[in-house]
Amino acid sequence: MKIGIYGYGNLGRGVENAITRNADMELAAVFTRRDPASLKIATTNVPVVAAAELPQWTDRIDVLVLCGGSATDLPTMTPELAKRFHVVDSYDNHSKIPVHYANVDATAKESGHVALISCGWDPGMFSLNRVYAEAALPDGSNYTFWGRGVSQGHSDAIRRIEGVVDARQYTVPVPEALERVRSGENPQLTTRQKHKRECYVVAAEGADLEAIRQTIVTMPGYFADYDTTVEFITMEELRRNHSDLPHGGSVIRTGVTGINGEHHQCIEYSLRLDSNPEFTGSVLAAFCRAVDRMAKRGECGCKTVFDIAPVDVSPIPREELIAHML
Amino acid sequence: MKIGIYGYGNLGRGVENAITRNADMELAAVFTRRDPASLKIATTNVPVVAAAELPQWTDRIDVLVLCGGSATDLPTMTPELAKRFHVVDSYDNHSKIPVHYANVDATAKESGHVALISCGWDPGMFSLNRVYAEAALPDGSNYTFWGRGVSQGHSDAIRRIEGVVDARQYTVPVPEALERVRSGENPQLTTRQKHKRECYVVAAEGADLEAIRQTIVTMPGYFADYDTTVEFITMEELRRNHSDLPHGGSVIRTGVTGINGEHHQCIEYSLRLDSNPEFTGSVLAAFCRAVDRMAKRGECGCKTVFDIAPVDVSPIPREELIAHML
């Protein structure tokens, strides 16, 4: 299976690493909107190609992984590239997924390609687990907790504040909330009760630290609804202690069975990730396999993780899965 | 969707309860090899029918759930009934699944029915999670822990010992083993290191307790390879403290990503169940939905949970799943 990667940021590098760990995949090329000569990739003997040359690669790539951002790249990139390639993206703007789906489905169906959107871990593996768990326990509630982990969006929001040089924001689930959910108490939790936010900020020399702190903790949409702590650190501390991108979280469903609902049942799916982009890249690579198989069966249109049978994600032949993994 | 239940033990009652919690399902009939007049079921206005009359019910049942035992019932029951019905079973004799699969596939294909085998939580939800996790983290190890929960097979093995009136056996994961696995240490664990076994035994008056204890802890296949504790209790204590059938466990995959495998990643799927048969029944009911949909699409043959896309397990329309669960 020949995989192309479009975009060589953290996620693109994560996909590249995953390809080296899957014997049935090979990296065909990395495409970039930057000057290809300026890009040094980890894999040897694989070309870095200008994005403009993509149309000449249609016969040399089975699946193209789109590693652009959800805010401005993917909404146009995915429908456009689905005209020529079978593609996978990690579009994660949950509220706008139906619009993205419709746009991608239109061009993928017209051109006869398979386009898997919103793959990764949330959306992705967490979504799968929400659906399976709700089907298995119809009388119950779903809870999703994120972290402890670095939120890139929230870190960026802090960096845009005047006087801030750099910042790292951790999303942290509130332990008491997790405990209440796991106990089967089925609590109604506010935003503030579920997660807190820890910010590590490098301020410019002479900056008004109290003003920065106030701007952060009152920022609507990002921090105002949370208990937020702000700690000012040096650039050296940031580099030493906060250069990784760990993340994770849990999807929990608690529900009841029994004639009087007397039996509590709890399903929990948890991730503890040292590297968020590398795990996301790994999931994308696994689902490339499913996209390639669907494409070879002649399917087309926009797909989600919900549409894919587990057998298509696995490198192991079906007979072996039945014999050894069931 | 009209569901039939064949066999009204703990699992049959679990499926019956699940049907009441799924608005798109209704219980058509319960079939039994006992005298139907002797059976009182929880659902009102639903007939209890002699198993011999099953052939007359082909038009009145969409999916038949086979709640027989894996040792002697299902190996003949599932292939036989797949000649006339779309069926679901929970066959859990892992080492013999390929044989069962082949037998069921032959009759299901010949008669044009869908037959889902080995559904439930292990095999079932645990199997799904083993496959997804291995695909997402190709460089890693799978671990499955069971419990704390009642193992019916081990409880039965104790009951067959001379001088034993009744018994309950709990399978218990060893906390240190769980901790080592979760830490990403990737340990090689022996059977004894992973689980211990707790036995609560009611002995007959005057029975040789030390002989019973020795017979249990040295029993090959069941207890000899484990650290096993035996506690003698009264029948009253057994009824008061050990009448439920809790179970659960975890499927854990730890693996590495990164150029030098420097990032540890951990995926864990856990169940904490007050009632094992009711949860298993709930999973079977959810997958009845998928069987019915596959049947209506004209598919046939033996299927496993690996072959089923999550969208087919859910009662929620695909558009809504994409809009709200992705």
Sign of the C-alpha dihedral, residues A79, A81, A87, A90? negative
Q: Is the bond preceding B148 in cis, omega lying within 30 degrees of 0?
A: yes
Q: Which two tokens stand for residue A124?
A: 């992705």
Interface with A, mutate which of B22, B97, B252, B263 (most A CBs under 10 A): B263
Q: How large is the average pLDDT for residues B291-310?
A: 98
Which residue in the block uniquely carries the two structure tokens 């990764």?
A120
Which residues in chain B are closer than 8 Å to A104, comparing Cβ atoms?
none
Beta bridge pairs of residue B87:
B64, B115
Q: Which residue in B136, B269, B306 is closest to A311 by CB distance?
A: B306
Test A125 with B136 for CB contact under 8 angstroms: yes
Bridging pattern class, strands B149-150 and B164-173:
antiparallel
Residue A301 pLDDT: 98
The Cα–Cα gap between A31 and A33 comes to 7
pLDDT averaged over chain A?
97
Residue A274 pLDDT: 97
Which residues in chain A are closer than 8 Å to B134, comparing Cβ atoms?
314, 316, 325
* pLDDT level of residue B304 (50, 70, 90 thresholds): very high
Residue B206 pLDDT: 96
Nearest-neighbour CA in chain B from A223: distance (Å): 24
Nearest CA in chain A to B326: A127
Q: Which residue in B136, B283, B319 is closest to A282 by CB distance?
A: B136
* pLDDT level of residue A96 (50, 70, 90 thresholds): very high
Residue B245 pLDDT: 95
Q: How large is the average pLDDT for residues A89-106?
A: 96
Q: Name the DSSP letter for residue A124.
A: B
Q: Name the DSSP letter for residue B204.
A: P
ipTM of the complex: 0.96
The Cβ of residue A58 has, within 10 Å, a number of other Cβ atoms equal to: 11
What 3-state class would DSSP assign to B239? helix
Q: Name the DSSP letter for residue B59.
A: T
**What is the side-by-side strand order in the sheet with A2-6?**
A48-50, A26-32, A2-6, A63-66, A87-89, A114-116, A301-303
Nearest CA in chain B to A94: B326
Residue B28 pLDDT: 98
pLDDT averaged over chain B?
97
How far is residue B184 CA from its own chain's centroid? Answer: 28
Residue B46 pLDDT: 98
Test B304 with A322 for CB contact under 8 angstroms: yes
Residue A254's nearest CA partner among A270, A243, A262, A265 is A265
Q: How large is the average pLDDT for residues A19-23?
A: 98
Nearest-neighbour CA in chain B from A104: distance (Å): 13
* pLDDT level of residue B297 (50, 70, 90 thresholds): very high
pLDDT tens, position by position, A227-271: 999 999 999 999 999 999 999 999 999 999 999 999 999 999 999
The Cα–Cα gap between B119 and B124 comes to 5
Listing DSSP states for B125-139 in one string gives HHHHHHHHHHHH-SS
Which residues in chain B are closer than 8 Å to A118, comparing Cβ atoms?
326
Contact A216, A161 (CB under 8 A): yes
pLDDT tens, position by position, B217-231: 999 989 999 999 999
Contact A28, A46 (CB under 8 A): yes
Sign of the C-alpha dihedral, residues A234, A239, A240, A242? positive
Test A268 with B273 for CB contact under 8 angstroms: no
Listing DSSP states for B302-314 in one string gives EE-GGG--GGGT-
* pLDDT level of residue B47 (50, 70, 90 thresholds): very high
Q: Which two tokens stand for residue A312?
A: 């298509």
Q: What percent of chain A has pLDDT over 90?
A: 98
Helices H / strands E in chain B, number of each:
11, 14
pLDDT tens, position by position, B166-212: 999 999 999 999 999 999 899 999 999 999 999 999 999 999 999 99
Which residues in chain B are closer than 8 Å to A308, comparing Cβ atoms?
309-310
Contact B215, B163 (CB under 8 A): no
Which pTM was predicted?
0.96
Residue B31 pLDDT: 98
Test A263 with B278 for CB contact under 8 angstroms: yes
Test A21 with B266 for CB contact under 8 angstroms: no
pLDDT tens, position by position, A142-189: 999 999 999 988 999 999 999 999 999 999 999 999 999 999 899 999
Bridging pattern class, strands A149-150 and A164-173:
antiparallel
Q: How large is the average pLDDT for residues B39-47?
A: 96
What 3-state class would DSSP assign to A206? coil
Residue B279 pLDDT: 98
pLDDT tens, position by position, A189-223: 999 999 999 999 999 999 999 999 999 999 998 99
Test A309 with B313 for CB contact under 8 angstroms: no
Residue A217 pLDDT: 97
Residue A285 pLDDT: 98
Nearest-neighbour CA in chain A from B95: distance (Å): 7
